[in-house]
Amino acid sequence: MCSGRVDLEHVLRAFSNGMDGVFIGGCRLNECNYITHGNYDALNMVLLCKKIMEHIGLSPERLRLEFMSSADGNLFAEVMSEFGNKVNELGPLGIAEGIEDNEFKSKLAKIRRLVPYIKLVKNEKLASRLENPEEYDRLFTKDEIDRLFSEVISYYIDPEKCQACLICARRCPVEAIAGAKNQIHIIDQEKCIKCGTCFEVCPAKFGAVIENTGDPAPPPISEEERTIVR
């Protein structure tokens, strides 16, 4: 499988499942046999993931990406031995960083829910072609990642404006909007990937979908309050 197919979600899932370290091996840069150059995508993803790991208190050294060819058997053995020793030195995931298990799992779960949003917001940088290793640390900065999570966008439907037209519910790519005819729609914040589709398709004459930056969405109204009397 091309290293470019390794998604941010795959890495975070591995850590969520208790893996103490994650290694990704890819072809050498500029030696792609299929002209997709997915290894650049893998590089950018790893650089982003390392910054996210730092943000939640995990050692970025638990994630490693190396570029090599199929003929580099000795190099592969050396790299894996070195990485294995480093992971053993770091110790058990989370515990070694002084993060309680429940707190650690909660942080990872929150980040994983935001993966589609993160990829959407950082799409341009994730498509970069970094030729010089000196550029790696500058692609994503600590302040940038801190802002990314402090300014997360959320969407909710204003019950005073919703006309139960079903447009947003039909267009939502993850079926995060619950609603029916003559029933005020609500957004399931646990399912919402913050893509903004609902905000874009809500008719301007209604303007029912509200975009929030940095603040959590208000709690949904009760089932009894959702019926619209025409």
Which pLDDT value is given to residue 102? 85
pLDDT at 95 over 80: yes
* Per-residue model confidence (pLDDT) at position 131: 87
**What's the gap between Cα 190 and its chain centre?**
14
Q: 207 or 104, which is more confident?
A: 207
- Identify the pLDDT of residue 103: 87
- Which of 100, 123, 150 is the C-terminal boundary of a domain? 150
Residues in the chain: 230
Q: Higher-confidence residue: 212 or 1?
A: 212
In the chain, the number of structural domains is 2
Q: What is the pLDDT of residue 1?
A: 79
136 shares a domain with 71: yes
Say yes or no: 102 and 125 in one domain: yes
Q: Report whether pLDDT(70) > 90.
A: no
Pair 181, 136 in one domain: no
Write the single-letter amino acid at 221: I
**Would the pLDDT of 176 be above 90?**
yes
For residues 139 and 176, state if they share a domain: no
One domain, residues 142 and 158: no
Q: Which pLDDT does position 230 carry in this prediction? A: 75
Q: Are residues 7 and 115 part of one domain?
A: yes
Q: Are residues 214 and 127 in the same domain?
A: no
Among 150, 180, 196, where does a domain finish? 150
Whether 78 and 134 map to the same domain: the answer is: yes
Task: Note whether 108 and 158 are same-domain residues.
Answer: no
- Rounded distance between C-alpha atoms, residue 138 and residue 134, angstroms: 8
Same domain, 158 and 137: no
Answer yes or no: do 11 and 107 share one domain.
Answer: yes
Q: What is the pLDDT of residues 129-162, one digit of tens each?
A: 998 999 999 999 999 999 999 999 999 999 999 9
Q: Which segment of 3-7, 14-18, 96-100, 206-210 scores lowest on mean pLDDT?
A: 96-100
At residue 222, the pLDDT reads 92
Residue 224 has pLDDT above 80, yes or no: yes
pLDDT of residue 226: 94
So what's the pLDDT on residue 101?
83
Residues of the domain holding 171: 153-226
What average pLDDT does the structure give for the chain?
93
What is the domain-level CATH number for residue 181? 3.30.70.20
User: Token digits for 220?
Assistant: 């949904």
Residues 35 and 127 in one domain: yes
